[in-house]
């Protein structure tokens, strides 16, 4: 099929590249010329495992094109995917300006009938709104059907998720349009759920809200564990072995971040408020997450008093491992709070430094070497569970730091390891001990 993907970000690029790899003829469109030029040269502007070789292969075989030209992108296609961003407005609602703008542009360029797929995460009712925008602005003789096809890929394993996702959701009022999407995806052999448009839009928000709830739930349990002397590792393993609950998303830590959970939970809470149903559970989930992200600096202040002039290493900037995305990352809040307290911050990340430099400029020193980050540091805060951090030997903290104190927001090391190396090691939801085995009081 002939497909255009409108918006070449984390979702659009992976979708476009992988659809080309399935044999479709794909044009990826973006308004950022720099991004498109990089892509035309075969380089991915984002860090995503396995993406670049597939990108280069499909440019070479002529199935994958990149453009900033709306006419070239939208005039004639079987399908157009909308994958532009839907960031958060200051009041928590989804900002739909990019979706609305791209809908208008598409309508203005159409020369043939087409199916438009809403892949961006949008509040219930938006796909119908986009149908209206296009109806009102397209050439009158053309038939356009807008369907909902929410995206569930996870950054860091997005290519794998494209090929082996759990389900594909297609929301449509039109059987033929739904059948075209089914045909597009059929080589993947992923179960497809066909439903109405509003339910499809809701499935996406409800999925993210449920996962966020699981995270905040285990984090609340972890706080209780700390207070009563239980160990969250044992508790999570015990809970997760119940098949009705499952082991996933039960890792206690300093909360969820990224470009989806924070904004989608807030957008769903807002949506619920708009229909006079305060979503109290979700509001609590959001509150717990905000509190969780502040834990490392709170714990640091409790243990060290003032942080003024202290040298702090923040290990991990990306919101999770295997991505360079730092949107809503816990590290941003931690670094900001540390700077506000007068600390001198060096931050380590293997891939996210260019994005972090855009946020903090010269206020923070950056390095892609853990050793360099912790050299002469008074405190190390682990914010992302990169393998590079998990595999970094604990004894080196003692060797490189002034007086090794680690606040581990992702429980990367075992308590036994910390004890063996006599390191002051504070983690999340686990009994707190000093290197000498005596308990550290956090109350
Ligand atoms: N990132 C994820 O893990 C993920 C997962 C599932 C769903 N989603 C949803 O998918 C959507 C896209 O997310 P993302 O992370 O890929 O965003 P992104 O910010 O990485 O990419 C959006 C792209 O759209 C481009 N764009 C903006 N306006 C445009 C226009 N008028 N025409 C063409 N391109 C335009 C931007 O330049 C940018 O490159 C969001 O709604 C998000 O919630 C994201």
Ligand 1: centre distance to CA 82 (Å) = 9
* Domain match, 171 and 36 both: yes
- Mean local confidence (pLDDT), 251-255: 97
Burial class (CB in 10 A: 0-12, 13-18, 19+), 340: exposed
pLDDT of 433: 59
| Bridge partner list, 194 | 170
**Pair (122, 170) in one structural domain:** yes
Q: Is the CB of 219 under 6 A from ligand 1?
A: no
Is 113 among the domain residues? yes
pLDDT tens-digit readout, 275-328: 999 999 999 999 999 999 999 999 999 999 999 999 999 999 999 999 999 999
Same domain, yes or no: 261 and 244: yes
Q: Is residue 14 part of a domain?
A: yes
Cβ neighbours around 412 below 10 Å, total:
22
Distance CA 412, CA 388 (A): 10
Choosing from 283, 309, 329, the residue where a domain stops is 283
Give per-residue pLDDT as tens, 106-139. Answer: 999 999 999 999 999 999 999 999 999 999 999 9
Q: Which of 7, 70, 99 to mutate to test the pocket of ligand 1 (most atoms within 8 A of CB)?
A: 7
376/346 same-domain check: yes
- Containing domain of residue 328, as a range? 292-426
CATH (domain of 399): 3.40.50.720
Q: Quick one: 188 and 44 in the same domain?
A: yes
| Mean pLDDT computed over every residue of the chain | 96
Determine whether the shortest distance from the Cβ of 80 to ligand 1 is under 6 A: no
The residue to which tokens 């495992």 are assigned: 49
Q: Which residue is closest in CA terms to ligand 1's atom 15? A: 10
The Cα 197–Cα 201 span in angstroms is 6
Say yes or no: CB of residue 223 within 6 Å of ligand 1: no
Say yes or no: CB of residue 9 within 6 Å of ligand 1.
Answer: yes
Determine if ligand 1 sits within 6 Å of the CB of residue 319.
no
Q: Are residues 264 and 400 in the same domain?
A: no
* Residue 10, ligand 1, Cβ within 6 A: yes
Q: Which of 18, 117, 260, 412 is catalytic?
A: 260
pLDDT at 437 over 50: no
Do 182 and 269 reside in the same domain of the chain? no
44-53 pLDDT, tens digit per residue, is 999 999 999 9
Say if residue 365 is exposed, middle or buried (CB neighbours under 10 Å; 0-12, 13-18, 19+): middle
Q: What is the mean pLDDT of residues 3-24?
A: 98
Tell me, yes or no, whether 442 lies in a domain.
Answer: no
Among 73-87, 163-177, 311-325, 427-441, the minimum mean pLDDT is found in 427-441
| Domain count for the chain | 3
Res 341 pLDDT > 90: yes
Best probe residue, ligand 1, of 11, 33, 124 (max atoms within 8 Å of C-beta): 11
- With a pLDDT cut of 70, the percent of the chain lying above it is 98
Q: Is residue 137 part of a domain?
A: yes
What's the confidence (pLDDT) of residue 88? 95
Poorest-pLDDT segment among 167-176, 261-270, 409-418, 424-433: 424-433
Centre of ligand 1 from the C-alpha of residue 155, in Å: 12
Q: For residue 441, report the distance from its CA to the centre of ligand 1, in Å.
A: 45
Q: Quick check: 236 pLDDT over 60? A: yes
- Judge if 262 and 224 occupy the same domain: yes
- Which atom number of ligand 1 is nearest to the Cα of residue 152? 6
Using CA of residue 151, residue 47, residue 333, residue 384, what is the dihedral sign? positive
User: What confidence score (pLDDT) does residue 436 get?
Assistant: 46
Domain end call among 265, 283, 301: 283
CA 153-68-360 angle, to 5 degrees, is 60
Residue to mutate, 4, 5, 6, 10, ligand 1, most ligand atoms under 8 Å from C-beta: 10
Query: CB of 105 within 8 A of CB of 70?
Result: yes
Do residue 23 and residue 161 come from a single domain?
A: yes
**Could you tell me if residue 341 is inside a domain?**
yes
Residues 86, 160 within the same domain:
yes
Please give the distance, rounded to the nearest whole angstrom, from the Cα atom of residue 120 to the centre of ligand 1: 7
Residue 434: pLDDT band with limits 50, 70, 90 = very low
Looking at the domain assignment, is residue 436 inside a domain? Answer: no
Q: Is the minimum distance from the CB of 121 to ligand 1 under 6 angstroms?
A: yes
Count of Cβ atoms closer than 10 Å to residue 131 Cβ: 19
The H-or-E segment that residue 218 falls in is helix 197-228
Is residue 103 within 6 Å of ligand 1 at its C-beta? no
Q: Is residue 438 part of a domain?
A: no
* Residues recorded for the chain: 443
HEC sequence for 11-44? HHHHHHHHHHHCCCEEEEECCCHHHHHHHHCCCC
Backbone angles phi, psi at 439, to 5 degrees: -70, 145
* Nearest CA, atom 1, ligand 1: 10
CB 422 within 8 A of CB 397: no
Q: What is the CA radius of gyration of the chain?
A: 24
432 band by pLDDT with thresholds 50, 70 and 90? confident
60 and 35 inside one domain: yes
Among protein residues, the one whose CA lies closest to atom 38 of ligand 1: 9
161 lines ligand 1 (CB under 6 A): no
248, 283, 318 — which closes off a domain? 283
Mark whether 260 is an active-site residue: yes
Tokens 């208008």 belong to 104
Query: Using a 6 Å cutoff on CB, does residue 93 contact ligand 1?
Result: no
Q: State the CATH number of the domain containing residue 230.
A: 1.10.1040.10
- The rounded Å distance from CA 11 to ligand 1 centre is 6
Are residue 355 and residue 414 in the same domain, yes or no? yes
Residue 441 domain-assigned?
A: no
- Nearest-angstrom CA–CA distance, 248 and 166: 14
Q: Are strands 379-382 and 405-408 parallel, antiparallel or unpaired?
A: parallel
Which atom belonging to ligand 1 lies closest to the Cα atom of 10? Answer: 16
Q: Is 171 left (phi over 0), alpha (psi -120 to 50) or beta?
A: beta
29 lines ligand 1 (CB under 6 A): yes
């Amino acid at each position: 099929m002939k497909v255009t993907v409108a918006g070449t970000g984390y979702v659009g690029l992976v979708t476009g590249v992988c659809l080309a790899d399935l044999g479709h003829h794909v044009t990826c469109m973006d308004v950022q010329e720099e991004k498109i030029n990089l892509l035309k040269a075969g380089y991915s502007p984002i860090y995503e495992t396995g993406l670049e070789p597939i990108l280069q292969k499909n440019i070479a075989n002529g199935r994958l094109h990149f453009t900033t030209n709306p006419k070239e992108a939208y005039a004639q296609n079987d399908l157009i995917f909308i994958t532009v961003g839907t960031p958060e407005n200051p009041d928590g609602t989804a900002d739909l300006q990019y979706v609305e703008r791209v809908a208008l542009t598409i309508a203005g360029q159409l020369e043939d009938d087409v199916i438009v797929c809403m892949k961006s995460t949008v509040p219930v009712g938006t796909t119908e709104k986009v149908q209206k925008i296009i109806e009102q602005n397209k050439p009158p003789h053309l038939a356009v059907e807008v369907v909902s096809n929410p995206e569930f890929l996870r950054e860091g394993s997005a290519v794998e998720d494209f090929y082996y996702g759990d389900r594909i959701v297609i929301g449509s009022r039109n059987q033929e349009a739904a059948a075209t999407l089914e045909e597009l995806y059929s080589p993947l052999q992923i179960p497809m759920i066909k439903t109405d448009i509003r339910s499809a839009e809701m499935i996406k928000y409800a999925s993210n809200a449920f996962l966020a709830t699981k995270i905040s739930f285990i984090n609340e349990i972890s706080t209780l564990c700390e207070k009563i002397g239980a160990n969250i590792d044992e508790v999570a393993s015990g809970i997760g072995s119940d098949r009705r609950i499952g082991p996933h998303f039960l890792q206690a830590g300093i909360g969820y971040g990224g470009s989806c959970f924070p904004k989608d939970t807030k957008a769903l809470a807002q949506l619920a408020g708009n229909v006079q149903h305060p979503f109290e559970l979700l509001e609590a989930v959001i509150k717990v997450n905000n509190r969780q992200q502040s834990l490392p600096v709170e714990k640091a202040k409790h243990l060290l008093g003032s942080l003024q002039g202290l040298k702090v290493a923040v290990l991990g900037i990306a919101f999770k491992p295997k991505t360079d995305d730092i949107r809503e990352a816990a590290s941003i809040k931690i670094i900001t709070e540390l700077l506000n307290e007068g600390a001198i911050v060096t931050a380590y990340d293997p891939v996210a430094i260019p994005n972090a430099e855009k946020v903090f400029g010269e206020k923070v020193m950056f390095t892609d070497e853990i050793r360099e980050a912790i050299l002469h540091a008074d405190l190390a805060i682990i914010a992302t569970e990169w393998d590079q951090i998990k595999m970094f030997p604990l004894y080196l903290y003692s060797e490189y730091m002034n007086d090794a104190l680690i606040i581990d927001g992702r429980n990367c090391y075992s308590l036994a390891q910390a004890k063996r190396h006599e390191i002051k090691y504070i983690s999340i939801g686990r009994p707190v001990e000093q290197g000498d085995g005596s308990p550290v009081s956090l109350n």
